A and B are shown apart, each in its own frame.
Chain A
Amino acid sequence: MTTESMPASTPGAEVPAPEESGPEEAKSAGALARARKRRSVARFWREYRSHRGGLWGLAGLILIALIALCAPVLTGANAQSVTEAPGGALESPSAEFPLGTDQFGRSVLALLIWGARVSLTVGLLAAFLCVAIGTVVGIVAGHFRGWYSTVLMRVTDWFLVMPTLVLAIALATVMDRSLWTVIIAIGVTTWPTTARLVRAQTLAVESRPYIERARALGGGHGHIMLRHVLPNVMPLVLAQTTLVISSAILTEATLAFLGLGDPTITSWGGMLQDAREAGAVSAGDWWYLAPPGIAIALVALAFTLCGRAIETVLNPKLGVAR
């Protein structure tokens, strides 16, 4: 059970001395709340900072995101053009092409940079989809008793017993080839895990006395789910999101590798597939084969590291030594 205390009290860390007084008191409640929010973000950050892995992950992510955003600047808008490819087929690395060229003579480095956009987009959107569905279903299933909760959980269970990759492959086959297909296939197949986690957390939260208190205050279902359950499952959801992103990126690569991606778009998985189709494995063209794989691994690792760090910060119990 995770995350009961967002503003985690840290034994030893500086006492969260509420030094609000004087000028702050004069401010409106809204401003105060904002200041408070800022301070808890700052505290979060302070604790996050102490996780070296998380910092590495975050740094990596920022770097990759920047690179992805700046792709047109870094590589020129024509980097993906086959007719205007600057190099020969499968050239090995050189000063001009630091990572060599692909079979069309395009710079692998440039493609890698462009591919980051797709991989990140897919990862983020699929994770968002997954987490959004999972959170809603989880909270609703955890909050309500009775048959609809049972039905929801049955549906979730049903999705859970589907081997994810198999279902994703089937879905990707059913729909037409596009980025959205991949996103939906990933989102639709991975949400049940989130739903289960969220439901478990919801159940835990719902058993807390403050829920009883809210009900006794006259709070309805919506109030309890939105004001109490949601904020309490959010940290879990946040951590889960980062983890889902990394697995979504891997799944995207997998689908692309199986030839189920959108072939008109350059993604890392697609690059691997292209490399394989081009025979780069046999030819030993490591510069074509290695970078997409490493890129996938790095991004997935970065997200995983961030996710774990967030998880640890939000769930102080995990971090404590005996």
Chain B
Amino acid sequence: MSTTSIRKTPLLEVRDLTVTYAGGARAVRGVNLEVDAGRKLGIAGESGCGKSTLALALLRLLPAGTKVTGEILLNGEDVLAMKWGQVRAVRWAGASIVFQGAMHSLNAVHRIGDQIAEPIVLHRKTTQAAARKRAGELLEQVGLPAARADAYPHELSGGQRQRVMIAMALACDPGLIIADEPTTALDVMIQAQILRLIEQLVSEQDLGLIMISHDLAVLSDTCDRLAVMYAGRVVEQGPAAEVYERAHHPYSKALSGAFPRIGDPASRFAPRGLPGDPPDPSALPAGCTFHPRCTVALDSCTTQDPELRVAGPGREAACVLVGPDGVSAPQGAEEARSTS
């Protein structure tokens, strides 16, 4: 893989991806994403907005009966159009996943060394011994002694297990790593360790990274770009820090406001949140899916579902109140109507 080719085609390009579960839940609705090698994309959003679904769809790991449309171009090839044999070849070697909840993502009855070695043997066609040796190296790379390869998952702490997952994800030198909430349920200190590790590995190996989290603060700290999802849609996208600091979409705003900044007197004794309940993906509200919870919703929002629109340099947001200059449109309802 030459560097020039990477420049031309992005590592991963998702076009108009839609996922409908067998039950009729439209978990992902027309998502477009792009990740270049060496770049880090963060996907944020509340629980149930379709983040994991999106991640699984990338490697066609969704359960049978799920309808997936659109295009997923991994190194220019459409994963959705591949034969199963090709898909299997792409899995882990092309892109690997660090799953949410490492406890359950590791097989409890196999030693972690074997679990790391497994994809190496499969994709690199090495001997078992060589694969095990490599597994040991990978463990060291994520800061675990190689001797721990003999351990079973339950013998490790949560942070260690997550490291094992990361080591495993690196096993076949994939171009892209998808980390689905790699630090949820971890302690602050461990979380910091893991994030630092991921960052370091990604920058060392020039990998593409998609990091999924509901913690906007963490994502803005770690990633280059940030996509905020709501009800299966990307509602705002842009450079990470900007989106976090100055969100345009009311949802992103509420989300970023929910993270208190210590030392900021404004948030002292003033926790902020987002009233209302997340929508049910199998019965989405008409119009803008966020309008029932939106404090600045207009009448038109109940009927009209806005597309992503340019909202400043490198930024997009899906809200009628967002203007192309990147500034939020005026808050007043009359004015908003007049502009639209």
Any chain B CB within 8 A of the CB of A76?
Answer: no
From B25, B63, B280, A321 is in contact (CB under 8 Å) with: B63
A321 CA / B21 CA spacing, docked (Å): 12
Binding site for A on B (CB under 8 A): 21-25, 63-65, 280, 282-283
Give chain B residues whose Cβ lies under 8 Å from the Cβ of A15: 280, 282-283
Q: Pick 9 A–B contacts, CB within 8 A, sort by A.
A: A11-B21, A11-B23, A11-B25, A12-B24, A13-B23, A15-B282, A321-B63, A321-B64, A321-B65
Rounded to whole Å, the gap between the CB of A165 and the closest CB of chain B is: 34
A146 → chain B closest CB, angstroms: 27
Main secondary structure of the interface of B (DSSP, over half): loop
The distance in angstroms between the C-alpha atoms of A171 and B303, with both chains bound, is 75
Tell me if A322 and B64 are in contact (CB < 8 A): yes
Residue of B whose beta carbon sits closest to that of A322: B63
Within A109-125, the residues touching B (CB, 8 Å) are none
Size bracket, chain A contacts: under 10
Alpha-carbon separation in the docked complex, A322 to B23 (Å): 13
- Across the A-B interface, give the 9 residue pairs with the lowest CB-CB distance, nearest first: A12-B23, A11-B23, A322-B63, A12-B24, A15-B283, A321-B63, A322-B64, A15-B280, A321-B64
Mark A306-322 against chain B: 1 for CB-CB distance below 8 A, else 0.
00000000000000011
Q: Which of A12, A15, A322 counts the most B-chain CB atoms under 10 A from its CB?
A: A12
Which residue of the partner chain B has the closest CB to A10?
B23
How distant is the Cα of A11 from the Cα of B22 in the complex, in angstroms?
A: 9
| Count of A-B residue pairs with CB < 8 Å | 19
Give A20 Cβ to nearest chain B Cβ, in Å.
18
Neighbouring A residues of B282 by C-beta, 8 Å: 11-12, 15
A11: chain B residues within 8 A (beta carbon) = 21, 23, 25, 282
Chain B residues with CB below 8 A from A12, complex form: 21-25, 282
Q: Give the shortest distance, in Å, between A320 (CB) and chain B (any CB).
A: 9
Given the complex, which residues of A lie within 8 Å of B280, measured CB to CB?
15
Which residue of chain B lies nearest to A12 when distances are taken between CB atoms in the complex? B23
Q: Please give, as numbers and ranges, the residues of chain A lying within 8 Å of B65 by CB-CB distance.
A: 321
Chain B neighbourhood of A321, CB < 8 A: 63-65
> Please, which residue of chain A has its CB at the minimum distance from the CB of B283?
A15
CA of A12 to CA of B283, assembled, Å: 10
With A and B bound together, what is the CA distance between A321 and B23 in angstroms? 12
| Shortest Cβ distance from B25 into A: residue | A11
Q: Give CA–CA (A321, B65) in the complex, Å.
A: 10
B19 to chain A, nearest CB (A): 14
Chain A residue numbers with a CB within 8 Å of B25 are 11-12
When chains A and B are docked, how far (Å) is the Cα of A321 from the Cα of B25?
16
- The CA-CA distance from A283 to B22 in the complex, in Å, is 58
With A11-B282, A15-B283 given, name 5 new contacts (CB 8 A): A11-B23, A12-B22, A12-B23, A321-B64, A321-B65
A254 to chain B, nearest CB (A): 38
With both beta carbons as reference points, the residue of chain A lying nearest to B63 in the complex is identified as A322
Chain A residues, CB < 8 A from B64:
321-322
Bound-state CA distance A15–B25 (Å) is: 12
* B90 CB to nearest A CB, Å: 20
Minimum distance in angstroms from A29 CB to a CB of chain B = 25
Within 8 A of B (CB), among A220-268: none
- Chain B residue at minimum C-beta to C-beta distance from A13: B23
CB contacts (< 8 Å) of B22 on chain A: these are: 12
- CB-nearest residue of chain B to A320: B63
A residues 1-21 in Cβ contact with B at 8 Å: 11-13, 15
B103–chain A nearest beta-carbon distance, Å:
16
Bound form: Cα–Cα A321–B22 in Å? 11
